[in-house]
Structure 1
Amino acid sequence: MTTINFSRLAKADWFGPLLATLIAIIAIRWYSPNFLSSFNIQTLLLAIAINALIGFSQMIIIAIGQMNLSVGAIGGLSAIAFAGMLQIWGLPVPVAAVLALAIGTLCGIVNGVLINITGISAFVITLATLSIYKGINLGITEAQPFYDIPESVKEFGSALAFGSVPMLALPMVIIAVALWYLLSRLPIGRFILAVGGNEHAASLSGISVRTVVIVAHAISGFIAACAGTLLVARLQIGQPSIGDDWLILSFAAPVIGGAVLSGGHVSVVATFLGVVIVALITQALVLFSIDPFLVQVVLGTLILAAVGINRLRGTRRAVRRA
């Protein structure tokens, strides 16, 4: 019975990333006793809080078999809008936050609508909107940061809950649970996975593919906006460069988590663990005084390895079915 249960457990999407996470923690702790210090743990949790949202914003698009190259541009535009409304217009923090999230959601909707209207691939559409949203960002800021961030926002960005858990992690947890519930319990979540699995079959079964595409991109835009807004609180400044380096990470986390790039299969838990693995590797490079630019090389290697493993799994499943 135990063997059967372990066999089922090993087949779960999150089992591999969880095992890799535990091995990485043990290995890094072995070579660096200070790795699990409270300061390092807080640093890790801060990185994970933001990066998980970045990964989730891409994951929901991968679920429908598409990709969103404008994730970083949407997050950056929302961040700048949030900081700008606080500094220039003097809006209350909650109002500015809601408007910034609305801007991100609207950008996502625009992506979905353009994909539906033109019939052009999401890759090309989001590549174009990436340039548009980034251009608007630079037009608003003139490439200059917004410095006048209210103290309440700064305090939230540095505040701790339950002793050592950053407050920034709480919105991430809420969004992660909401995404898990949406994909596993709600009809729209099943529709998203159905469209990613087989768009033609989903359409024949009565699912409005156009609506699903727009909803998925709207959710992606909303989550990217959350990441950008929270990053303003963490950095305590509205930087025009926010989001510029999100693209590789946004793909790395879901792919490491076993997401199928052709769509129809994603995991919130495994994507989160993918983010944890990337954060651990980044932290290890810092602790071992290794060139931080090597992170990009490692991320690219991880993506290639994860895609190869996923392809191997798919081939084995196809052979078994045959």
Structure 2
Amino acid sequence: MQSMLGKAANTDWFGPLVVVIAAVVVIGAIEPTFLSAFNIQVLLSAIAVNLVIALAQMIIIAIGQMNLSVGAIGGLVAIAFAGMMEVWGIPAPLALVLALAIGLAGGLANGFIVAKTGISAFIITLASLSFFKGLNLGITEAQPFYGVPDAVKAFGNTNMIGPIPWLVLPAAIAGLGIWYLLAKLRIGRQILAVGGNPHAAELSGISIFQTTVWAHGLSGLLAALGGVMVVARLQIGQPSIGDDWLILSFAAPVIGGAVLAGGHVSVAGTALGVVVVAIITQSLVLFHIDPFVVQVVLGALILWAVGINRWREVRVERRLRGAS
């Protein structure tokens, strides 16, 4: 039993899990409404959307890069999804496919430029953030699309079972899909290999170009899914969708043990990182604390998580030096 606990304590997800359990117990004892069916539904809806957003960043962190345009892609897809249904009368399923295709194309474009030019992904995605946001505002003229079909609204605001909303379903599929890709599929192993040591990966026959392009493509696709889910949840295609995704997209993977240098990420850890952020946000609302405090707390959490990761790296390095 102790050995199992010791092994669990060394995993990326153990720390966030302890924080989640402690937070639920303490906050639930202080404020009983925290565990009410309605609040659980609200919490799970936020977790579902934020998990997809965090996974969009996590897959880029896995290759040792970053994607500053996650929110801009999600926002462009959100207004495209709502606009296609309102302006052109396109059925929701077809609009969904087209919207996801836009996100995939945006991600692939990011990846192609990064891989082709060798310019830092930070610079390329900063530029594409401005480009995609400009398209968003040019299309909408800063006005929202209201013509979201009732079926889409229902999907974003009704429950499957008890307090579990339908939004949990696409988030769960995305999470399991990314876990399977990284753990079982060749492209997933290549992504982690490139993030861990690009030179060694290239010498072993892995195409850095293709791996980078596909990682960014997956990121764009996940950002697009997040944008569609937000439209369903808000029941409106709002041009500001995605503007506040950036900090969250980094916070959850880092809290979940992702190494910013690349090569190591955890889907389970990222999911628990999302839960930690959602619980903090929700508890601040319940206790009527200034919402701007959330940004301060997220910043502190990122610093804490990065510090813990660095501490682990130092311990491993010392252990390896001692063994040699």
In structure 1, the residue matched to 2:239 is 240
| In structure 2, C-alpha distance between the alignment counterparts of 1:230 and 1:285, rounded to whole Å | 24
Corresponding position of 2:221: 222
Are residues 1:252 and 2:251 paired?
yes
- What does the per-residue CA deviation read over 1:41-67, in whole Å, with 9 as the maximum and x for residues that have no partner? 001001001000010000000000000
Q: Name the residue aligned to 2:173.
A: 174
1:317 is matched with: 316
Distance 1:116 1:36 in 2: 47
Which residue is 2:79 aligned to?
80
Aligned equivalents of 1:246, 1:254: Cα separation in 2: 13
Q: Please tell me whether the aligned partners of residues 116 and 209 of structure 2 are also in contact (alpha carbons under 8 angstroms).
A: no
| Structure 2 counterpart of 1:64 | 63
Identity %: 64
User: Structure 2 counterpart of 1:232, which letter?
Assistant: V
Structure 1 distance, partners of 2:276, 2:117, is: 38
Q: Which string of whole-angstrom CA distances, capped at 9 and with x for unpartnered residues, describes residues 258-305 of structure 1? A: 100000000001000000000000111011110011100000010011
Which residue does the alignment assign to 1:18?
17
- Shift in Å at residue 176 of structure 1? 0.5
- Matched to 2:255, the amino acid is I
Corresponding residue for 1:208? 207
Amino acid at match of 2:273: G
Q: Could you tell me how far 1:35 is from its partner in structure 2? A: 1.1
Aligned pair count reads 321
* Aligned-residue RMSD, C-alpha: 0.6
Q: Is the counterpart of residue 231 in structure 1 residue 230 in structure 2?
A: yes
Q: Shift of the alpha carbon at 1:5?
A: 1.8
| 1:4 match | 3
- Structure 1 residues 100-139: aligned runs within 5 Å: 100-139=99-138
Moved over 3 A (4+): none
Q: Given residue 152 of structure 1, which amino acid in structure 2 is its aligned partner?
A: A
Question: Corresponding residue for 2:88?
Answer: 89
Q: Aligned partners of 1:48, 1:169: CA distance in 2, in Å?
A: 8
What secondary structure is seen at the aligned counterpart in 2 of 1:41?
helix
Structure 1 residues 242-281: aligned runs within 5 Å: 242-281=241-280
Q: Which letter maps to 2:123?
A: V
Aligned amino acid, residue 244 of structure 1: D
1:7-59 per-residue CA deviation (whole Å, 9 max, x = no partner) reads 11111111111111101111111211221000110010010010000100000
8 Å contact from structure 2 (residues 48, 167) kept in 1: yes
Determine the C-alpha separation between the residues in 1 that align with 2:274 and 2:72: 20
The TM-score, its normalising length taken from structure 2, stands at: 0.98
Structure-2 separation of matches of 1:153 and 1:305: 39
Residue 165 of structure 2 aligns with an amino acid whose one-letter code is P
Tell me how far apart the structure 2 counterparts of residues 80 and 8 of structure 1 sit (CA, whole Å).
46
Matched residue, 2:154? 155
**Does the CA-based 8 Å contact 2:115-2:208 persist in structure 1?**
no
Q: Distance in 1 between matches of 2:7 and 2:26?
A: 27
Question: Alignment partner of 1:161: what SS?
Answer: strand
CA distance in 2, matches of 1:8, 1:46: 32
Superposition deviation, residue 113 in structure 1 = 0.5
Shift of 1:155: 1.2
Offset, 1:149: 1.0
Runs of 5+ in structure 1 lacking a partner?
A: none
Ranges in structure 2 where 5+ consecutive residues have no aligned partner: none
What letter corresponds to residue 235 of structure 1 in structure 2? L
The one-letter code of the counterpart of 1:260 is: V
Per-residue deviation at 1:310?
0.5
Q: Which residue of 2 aligns with 1:50?
A: 49
TM-score (norm 1): 0.99
Deviations 1:123-178 (A, max 9, x none): 00000000000000000000000011111111111121012210011000011011
The one-letter code of the counterpart of 2:25 is I
1:280-319 matched pairs, under 5 angstroms: 280-319=279-318
Shift of 1:116: 1.3
Looking at structure 1, the residues matched to 225 and 13 of structure 2 have their Cα atoms a distance apart, in angstroms, of: 24
SS of the equivalent of 1:290 reads coil
